[in-house]
Structure 1
């Protein structure tokens, strides 16, 4: 392995100093495939040696040690030194004017390796990259062909230079499929160097984006065996992440993850392609120990370098927690608890977070909750993050801590939560439990798995824990629904949520006397929202989901689809007959009854009123008024099925 240059040694020392001083977590930038983005990139280029400095070499690192000392970085540094020298000399010569300085710099560039070709290529590229006005396709193909003829013999020299690399990126973007295959073939053996180059990585991402399946497989195969080293490299980590998330097939993803198990699974990839980590760990304690050590080493190094938000790292973490013992789980929590919120935005990361919460001790859960409470809004709205929050509700015994940690932020955003597809699920769980109506079978399966994992550390019965949450959050929920009743009734999800909150014996039972007023006020606001002319645009009766809400409130129970009947509420007050009579008096009355009967949107509400009040003394007025207008009900329209049914029942 060649000794480090003085400049590289200086970079190495500088990186070590920066690493000690930097305690903040880096945010993951996206690598754009726009050819203009590279020039705006402001990250410092590090050589593979510098980026992985301070890490202990594992088995796979030793296999690639020779490759990490390749001379391309030295060539690039020499070019930079030369440019600095050019600029310094031209500045010192005060007699030269600006034009002479430019000529001198151009002359020096022409004298470099492939200098003449680079200048000719760049002049053609300036024409090819024009976007406004768009270049005609024949002209673009001609320019692409000319650039390729000039660059195909020196392409390996171009791809690591900041300006020339952009030329090849544009060529990839506008070339044919066959030409892209030729570029990939010409760059074989260079993909690792490209991945670790501040400029070359953009070309590699371009090749992945525009390339064929075969091209991607060639790149993946060449990088195979080096992924753990790339994950520890500041530039390479982003390439690996984009490769895993955007371009790899499911089979390729599994191949990439198995590489993190150790060198045996990297070198003999075909022999282990159908293995799962559980099977390997069951077959050999020694192999389990090796895999655990390799995974934890890669995860630790990546977290320390600020890659906690990477999905491929989350996938590696998921492999680790599948086979981790209690000590290893504690080590993982200690490692990631400060960046815990960065796990929850991917399915793999959310699974890791849920598993850690389920298996954590009470003390460790406090650390996790302390981190997550600062991200309540984004956590609960996230497709995967809300499952993490539900898992915390399912597993954490300290319900007081949960309410104090998340309650203030929940109160501020609850209106958004109850009408959001994902954010409403934690509150539906608190009110209804894990109801299959709102939780898909695969989600239920995962949540039940976390419950099973938590049995060793969670002591309270699950029903008791949920009722404690309900007792604390229910008043907040009712106030929010009451305050925003009219707006929520205009939305399908909001209307459905109001129905689940009101037609709910468990919620009503957990309310204290001081909170019963909130429940009654919500009922009153629902009734008030339905007042007015039902033919006006924006009236709640214009929406079919409002009809379903009214039917539940009037019937005073939930429909049991299995038994095909309504299950009446036992504890809730103010619904059923009482609500039906009040709704008729305050909203419909004799003056609007015929209008509600002849309207196809509202006629089924009248049917529900009839079925609920027909044998009750509170329904005497309604029955009398209905009898008077039966002859005026129009049942000639096929659209108004409710009117037809009402006449059939009432006559």
Structure 2
């Protein structure tokens, strides 16, 4: 139809900007217009009705293209999928060819696909690296900030030889500061620090003067931390830390002073300025979320060591709820200990709230477990400590008791600062807070310890009663079981009975799956110590009378036990225990000749336990 064709022709052109609709010009009376053509009124109404009856189509554009082709000339044949893809590939290659370094990028990507394969033979990888270096050498600075080429450079640093790595690192000298701030370039800096020891000093020196800004930068802060914690030597770490002290130290490094204490001792007048800059910089680190870095922990520790009470409180207000994020480093754990020591009861409550979800992890941290000990020392609200901390320890007590560091948390509640379980350094570190605790805590230390022990004792006794075998088979957990029986409060009979039940087994029936505890290390020593606790320090309070109960269980097998070197020491302890000495010797009398025959021909250093038992008989 004529009307349809005119409409299609009008819409076939490219879309134009919308133009404000204008009122149609008046036509002579009796005439109307349709698409700019004057028609009679009756013809106009017929055309309108015909247009309204046509359905709206979704493919008007396709129909329009077909009409345009009909009007323009013969239609081109439709391309196959293969031909269409070929055209697209050609257009894509043309676009890539227009980009900078196009003649190098595409071949480098093809080589990279082979180079990054882990199963690539060494000889083939070396050949690929030689070809790759021929492409990128001299152009590294031009391509490092692109994501795809950054990956290629990282792979070259990983698989290249020392000479090739140093060539790449050498081309980037002067760019490391910029690279560290780049989302992709920072990974190249990490790789060069790792694979190119020759350039570590060069990279670190490029950071001098900018550390205070870089530590707050999202990407660069990780490079600074990596350089400080992993690759810098002592002098370089000191130089990086000094930039936190103020503008003077960013320009002039104090080489002969390694710590803030030494600097302040030499120049006391600088203390106010240094503390001010430390507070400003560290506050910025808290706001930017870089509190987890070890370099920040060291600076924080120096700040707390030299800050006044007001300066400490200013810092606590900023970081009290973030202290839990720094317990994985030595300095960070000490900072958290400072926070707990100087905090108000309200601040301590806030800190306990943040610590609660991570109690298990903190207890098993090499340095973090010391924070738990400080917490037990200073928090007066033992009810809160029980609900927030002790209850979480109880949930994972078996796991914590077997851990190298976790068991110290439980043992501290049982035995306090015993040199048997804590190093002299740890005891000294804890003792440093006693003077401050006297001013910040009101409850007597002995009362606080007693209340905490009362809270955890029932759970410890229950643990030993239900998991005695698994606990005493672990050397570290044995210490927890031993101290529980000696020092836990309340009724401990259930735990004692569980241990006696294990010892009552016939030694001849011992198997690898269920070994007799008196024939195995470390449980043989554990049982010997329990027998000695009846008459030798440290004594159980009240006495367990363990020797007497044990003798009643193992008396049928005394002859077997005395002939085994491990268990002979348990029998020896029974002969020395005033409660069991006489009865034990009486039961061993029939076995005396057997023991003498067993020791005949043995050296003096062989079967020492058996030899000592015989001597007591």
**TM band (smaller chain):** 0.7 to 0.9
Tell me what 1:267 maps to. Answer: 251
Q: Structure 1, residues 61-98: CA drift from partner, whole Å, max 9, x if none?
A: xxxxxxxxxxxxxxxxxxxxxxxxxxxxxxxxx99933
Q: CA distance change for structure 1 residues 490 and 570 in 2, over 3 Å: closer, same or farther?
A: closer
Alignment of 1:247-396 (within 5 A): 247-269=231-253, 271-282=254-265, 287-396=270-379
1:225: which partner in 2?
209
Describe how 1:8-27 pairs up with structure 2 within 5 A: none
Match of 1:150 in 2: 135
Does residue 452 of the first structure (1) align with residue 435 of the second (2)?
Answer: yes
Q: CA 1:568–1:190 in structure 2 vs 1: closer, same or farther (change >3 Å)? A: closer
Matches within 5 A, 1:504-583: 504=487, 507=488, 511=489, 515-516=490-491, 519-535=492-508, 536-537=510-511, 538-556=515-533, 566-567=536-537, 569=539, 571-575=541-545, 579-583=546-550
CA RMSD of aligned residues (A): 2.3
Offset, 1:337: 2.3
How far apart, in 2, do the equivalents of 1:648 and 1:285 lie?
Answer: 70
Residue in structure 2 matched with residue 585 of structure 1 by the alignment = 552
Q: Does 1:169 align with 2:151?
A: no
Work out which structure has the larger RCO, using CA pairs closer than 8 Å and 6 or more positions apart in sequence: 1
Aligned residue for 2:186, secondary structure, equals helix
Aligned to 2:41: none
The residue that corresponds to 1:561 in the other structure is none
Give yes or no for contact 1:581–1:619 (8 Å, CA) kept in 2: no
CA distance in 2 between partners of 1:130 and 1:471 (Å): 60
Contact conserved, 1:418 with 1:424, CA < 8 A, in 2?
yes
Q: Deviations over 1:427-482 (max 9, x none)?
A: 21222221111111222222222333433312333333222222222222222222
Quote the Cα distance in structure 2 between the aligned partners of 1:629 and 1:135.
Answer: 70
TM-fit CA distance, 1:285: 6.2
Q: Which residue of 1 aligns with 2:587?
A: 625
Q: Do the aligned partners of 1:496 and 1:545 also contact (CA within 8 Å) in 2?
A: no
Q: How far apart, in 2, do the equivalents of 1:452 and 1:249 lie?
A: 35
Which of 543, 563, 567 pairs up with 1:602? 567
Shift of 1:619: 5.4
Please tell me whether residue 635 in structure 1 is matched to residue 602 in structure 2: no
Higher radius of gyration, 1 or 2: 2
Q: Distance in 2 between matches of 1:403 and 1:526?
A: 28
Q: For 1:427 and 1:320, how far apart are their aligned partners in 2? A: 31
Distance 2:157 2:530 in 1: 63
Which blocks of at least 5 consecutive residues in structure 2 are unaligned? 1-80
**Larger mean Cα displacement after TM superposition, 636-645 or 356-365:** 636-645
Pairwise CA distance, 1:413: 0.9
Q: Distance in 1 between matches of 2:290 and 2:85?
A: 45
Separation in 1 of the partners of 2:443 and 2:276?
35
Conserved in 2, the CA contact under 8 Å of 1:489 and 1:546?
A: yes
Please give the TM-score of this superposition, normalised by the length of structure 2. 0.81
Structure 2: distance between partners of 1:582 and 1:369: 43
**Conservation of the 8 A alpha-carbon contact between 1:255 and 1:273:** no
Do 2:157 and 2:165's aligned partners in 1 also have CA atoms closer than 8 Å? yes
Mapped partners of 1:568, 1:182: distance in 2: 67
Name the CA shift for 1:620/1:285 in 2 (closer, same or farther; >3 Å): closer
What is the alpha-carbon distance in structure 1 between the residues aligned to residue 327 and residue 217 of structure 2?
Answer: 24
Evaluate the alpha carbon distance shift between residue 300 and residue 98 of structure 1 in structure 2; reply closer, same or farther with a 3 A threshold.
farther
- Alignment partners' CA distance in 2, 1:241 and 1:464: 43
Aligned-partner Cα distance in 1 for 2:397–2:314: 35
